[in-house]
Chain A
Amino acid sequence: MPATMFDKIWDAHAILEREGNTLLHVAFHLCHDGSAGGFAKLKERGIEVRRPDRMAGTPDHYVPTTSRRIEDLATEDMRRIFRVFGENFTANGITHFPVEDARQGIIHVVGPEQGFTQPGLVIVCGDSHTSTHGAVGAIAFGIGSSEVAHVMATQALWQKRPKTMRITINGERPFGVTGKDAVLAIIAHIGAVGGTGYAVEYAGSLIRAFSMEERLTVCNMSIEAGARCGMIAPDEKTFDYLKGRPFAPAGAEWDKALAHWQGLPSDPGAAFDREEALDGAALAPMVTWGTSPENAVAVTDRVPDPADEADEERRAALEGAIDYMGLAAGQAITDIEVDRVFIGSCTNSRIEDLRAAAKVVEGRRIRVGHAFVSPGSGLIKKQAEEEGLDRVFTEAGFEWRESACSMCVGMNGDIARPGERTASTSNRNFRGRQGPGVRTHLVSPAMAAAAAVSGRFADVREFG
């Protein structure tokens, strides 16, 4: 029977079943500074980490972007988390990249960059954006701290098999459209709850035309549609991307792995529980106006008018979001003024993202109060500096900072002030996400750059 890629990978990791639940083997467990709770739970019970050879980690959530020194962290609680992170990894002999290591970065950037993220694996991490790793053709999903401890103890997880959904985007890539715009359009289309209970496979000619970086961005935001995971079939682009990465297989092992990977894509005729399609040719650069990632519209569009919404609850939600965001119904997106710009996060901080933003910024000055770039890893930062991108940004008035989750979640203290409006390349525009009272708009790196040099949202297609 024709099988989906999801089925093939799931079945290859199923240890046993009990009452319709599967005990699923975990191939890789990626960790970050927030994984400390898992180690603590194991210690409490006197259990050893079962497979340190299948774990890797780097701190990202609490890492400062203005310094590489743990002493510079804002609170003693944060400093403690850091010390414990290092101790746990060293004591268990787990591969990890501490803050002072050039390979440190955001775990969802570092995983693919180092080659931990490989096709055909079940990958978990105590972070919801673990869906990122599905871009190479893996089942990758976020888990809570109890499950983190469970994986550390057993290298397995109890899971109910999700339903499958294929989202197909065919068509030529329109000028100025990136993976970020595509995934925002997908979330707007199926809704923030549209993917709940599903494993999503993205397919179609536009998805195949996307670079690996863009595919990582698309899969990264699967969780914003509620999906358990998002994945894209591996192809030559995937294999080219992985070849030669430090932790990717090499030599005869590469050949063996490649043969396995080539058999992963969904078989022709494989049935999905649900199919959705978007017209790629109709996509445009997107901006979110509200407080859910589903509140995304084309940059040429307007803030919706709640009066047009028939459903009472939805109307109230629209009114609440417009009020929080300090906008007016029907306001043109390009009339919205921006106070701060953030280019970074596991969604959009890879080298290609920085190049796209730098291209727009080059030779211009920022017209917002504050703008900064936090590259996704130390290695990306180094590469960008070799390409001279750091100077492009700093000459335009951006700050060029170190790598961390930073203002995507604000846990390291990188936040905006109440009432300020940001253009952000991150993944969540939730109320207060970037600081109490802060108004977040999600955009692609090029659109964030266009906003930075315009002082308001601007259509990147109008920039030469």
Chain B
Amino acid sequence: MEPFKTFSAVAAPLDMLNVDTDQVIPARFLSRPLDERYGTYLFHDLRFDADGNEKPEFVMNREGFRAAQVLVADRNFGCGSSRENAVTALAAAGFKAVIAPSFGDIFYSNSLKNGFLPIRLPDETCRRLREMLHEGPGGEVTVDLESQTVTAPDQSTWSFEIDPFQKNKVLQGLDDIDFTMQFLGEIETFEQGYDARMTWVTTRPG
């Protein structure tokens, strides 16, 4: 995983509550290989009509937002299915972070595993930011994970919370499996005790 670096980029507002991962990437694309088309599956049915033409009202199709790398969403972004393809599709389309008041739990943790930053900011802040972006399409925000801040196009700066353990892993680009492998001794010791106590736990036929 690449270490996460501070960046400034165009942000796009997405004014929808409960954007589920079926909206982020419809199920029919989940068996497709990860190739140069992958980014086009992102928000596919919101973005394109049945004939594959762009829906002009969708934010990603509007002038000023086409180069967006940050999404500013509403409550419960990424709820629903556990498909990690939602994060893959966002990243494939060039996004590096999503800002929202709340996230689906599994989407949130999938994001961090991929060095993609889910940022929780209060409802009112997200609303202000979306309004600001609507008023000035092409407005850039700065995302600084080190200092845990988001800077808006009008230079307002807001702090966000992130678990320090997760923050460190994303900042360093640590691989989760490698990281855990350093505790292999503890895992083995634990398993010996667990297996001795819970002797009936196995998926093998008895």
The chain A residues found within 8 Å of chain B, CB to CB, are 12-13, 15-16, 18-21, 23, 25, 27-28, 34, 37, 45, 47, 51, 53-56, 62, 75, 77-78, 81, 94-95, 116, 118, 120-121, 126-128, 142-147, 149-150, 153-156, 158, 160, 192-193, 196-197, 223, 226, 228, 246-247, 249-250, 253-254, 256-257, 260, 292, 294, 313-314, 316-317, 320, 409-411, 418, 428, 430-433, 436-437
**24 contacting pairs across A/B (C-beta < 8 A):** A15-B183, A21-B166, A23-B186, A25-B191, A27-B198, A34-B30, A47-B177, A54-B202, A81-B31, A95-B203, A128-B82, A144-B87, A153-B177, A196-B76, A196-B105, A197-B105, A226-B76, A247-B203, A247-B205, A250-B206, A253-B199, A411-B30, A430-B22, A432-B23
Q: Counting CB contacts under 8 A, is B54 at the interface?
A: no
Bound-state Cα–Cα, A16 to B189, Å = 11
| CB contact between A256 and one of B15, B31, B200, B206 (< 8 Å): that residue | B200
Q: Which residues of A contact B30 (CB under 8 A)?
A: 34, 411
The 5 A-B pairs with the shortest beta carbon distances in the complex, nearest first, are A249-B200, A144-B110, A146-B113, A144-B84, A19-B165
Contacts A144-B106, A149-B177, A150-B176: A431 and B83 contacting too (C-beta < 8 A)?
no
Q: How many A-B residue pairs lie within 8 Å, measured between CB atoms?
A: 191
Bound-state Cα–Cα, A37 to B83, Å = 11
Q: By the criterion CB–CB under 8 Å, are A56 and B203 in contact?
A: yes
Q: By the criterion CB–CB under 8 Å, are A143 and B106 in contact?
A: yes
Bound-state Cα–Cα, A121 to B194, Å = 11
Contacts A411-B27, A430-B22: A77 and B33 contacting too (C-beta < 8 A)?
yes
Bound-state Cα–Cα, A432 to B26, Å = 7
Bound-state Cα–Cα, A20 to B162, Å = 12
| CB contact between B109 and one of A147, A196, A437 (< 8 Å): that residue | A147
Bound-state Cα–Cα, A56 to B18, Å = 33
Q: Which residues of A contact B109 (CB under 8 A)?
A: 143-144, 147
Report the nearest B residue to A121, measured CB to CB: B201
Q: Which residues of B contact A250 (CB under 8 A)?
A: 206
Report the nearest A residue to B112, measured CB to CB: A146
Report B22 CB to chain A, min CB distance, Å: 4
Tally of chain B residues near chain A (CB < 8 A): 61
Report B87 CB to chain A, min CB distance, Å: 8
| CB contact between B27 and one of A20, A21, A193, A409 (< 8 Å): that residue | A409
Q: By the criterion CB–CB under 8 Å, are A256 and B82 in contact?
A: no
Q: By the criterion CB–CB under 8 Å, are B190 and A15 in contact?
A: yes
Contacts A27-B201, A160-B163, A292-B18: A430 and B31 contacting too (C-beta < 8 A)?
no
Report the nearest B residue to A428, measured CB to CB: B80
Bound-state Cα–Cα, A371 to B103, Å = 35
Report B123 CB to chain A, min CB distance, Å: 9
Q: Which residues of A contact B50 (CB under 8 A)?
A: 418, 436-437
Q: By the criterion CB–CB under 8 Å, are B31 and A433 in contact?
A: no
Q: By the criterion CB–CB under 8 Å, are B164 and A19 in contact?
A: yes
Q: By the criterion CB–CB under 8 Å, are B16 and A317 in contact?
A: yes
Bound-state Cα–Cα, A417 to B200, Å = 48
Q: Which residues of A contact B184 (CB under 8 A)?
A: 154
| CB contact between B183 and one of A16, A62, A143 (< 8 Å): that residue | A16
Bound-state Cα–Cα, A282 to B190, Å = 47
Report A47 CB to chain B, min CB distance, Å: 7
| CB contact between B82 and one of A51, A144, A294, A431 (< 8 Å): that residue | A144
Q: Which residues of B contact A62 (CB under 8 A)?
A: 31
Report A162 CB to chain B, min CB distance, Å: 8
Q: By the criterion CB–CB under 8 Å, are B84 and A145 in contact?
A: yes
Q: By the criterion CB–CB under 8 Å, are B203 and A256 in contact?
A: no
Bound-state Cα–Cα, A390 to B143, Å = 58
Q: Counting CB contacts under 8 A, is B45 at the interface?
A: yes
Q: By the criterion CB–CB under 8 Å, are B198 and A260 in contact?
A: yes
Report the nearest A residue to B22, measured CB to CB: A430
Bound-state Cα–Cα, A95 to B206, Å = 12
Report A137 CB to chain B, min CB distance, Å: 14
| CB contact between B205 and one of A13, A95, A147 (< 8 Å): that residue | A95
Q: By the criterion CB–CB under 8 Å, are A253 and B205 in contact?
A: no
| CB contact between B75 and one of A21, A45, A193, A197 (< 8 Å): that residue | A193
Q: Which residues of B contact A197 (CB under 8 A)?
A: 105
Query: Could you tell me which residues of chain B, from 96 to 112, have a CB within 8 Å of some CB in chain A?
Result: 102-106, 109-110
Report A231 CB to chain B, min CB distance, Å: 16
Contacts A260-B198, A418-B50: A154 and B187 contacting too (C-beta < 8 A)?
yes
Bound-state Cα–Cα, A51 to B190, Å = 14
The residue in A18, A23, A155, A158 that gathers the most chain B C-beta atoms within 10 A of its C-beta is: A158
Bound-state Cα–Cα, A246 to B82, Å = 29
Bound-state Cα–Cα, A199 to B178, Å = 28
In the complex, besides A15-B186, A193-B76, 9 extra interface pairs with C-beta distance below 8 angstroms are: A47-B177, A144-B113, A146-B110, A226-B76, A228-B105, A247-B202, A247-B203, A247-B206, A431-B45
Q: By the criterion CB–CB under 8 Å, are B79 and A193 in contact?
A: yes
Q: By the criterion CB–CB under 8 Å, are B177 and A54 in contact?
A: no
Q: By the criterion CB–CB under 8 Å, are B45 and A128 in contact?
A: no
Q: By the criterion CB–CB under 8 Å, are B26 and A226 in contact?
A: no
Q: Counting CB contacts under 8 A, is B180 at the interface?
A: yes
Bound-state Cα–Cα, A432 to B82, Å = 17
Report the nearest B residue to A314, measured CB to CB: B17
Q: Which residues of B contact A154 (CB under 8 A)?
A: 177, 180-181, 184, 187
| CB contact between B202 and one of A12, A18, A53, A149 (< 8 Å): that residue | A53
Contacts A19-B165, A144-B83, A193-B102: A410 and B200 contacting too (C-beta < 8 A)?
no
Q: Counting CB contacts under 8 A, is B159 at the interface?
A: no
Q: By the criterion CB–CB under 8 Å, are A253 and B200 in contact?
A: yes
Q: By the criterion CB–CB under 8 Å, are B203 and A54 in contact?
A: yes
Bound-state Cα–Cα, A208 to B110, Å = 35
Bound-state Cα–Cα, A203 to B26, Å = 35
Q: Which residues of B contact A45 (CB under 8 A)?
A: 177
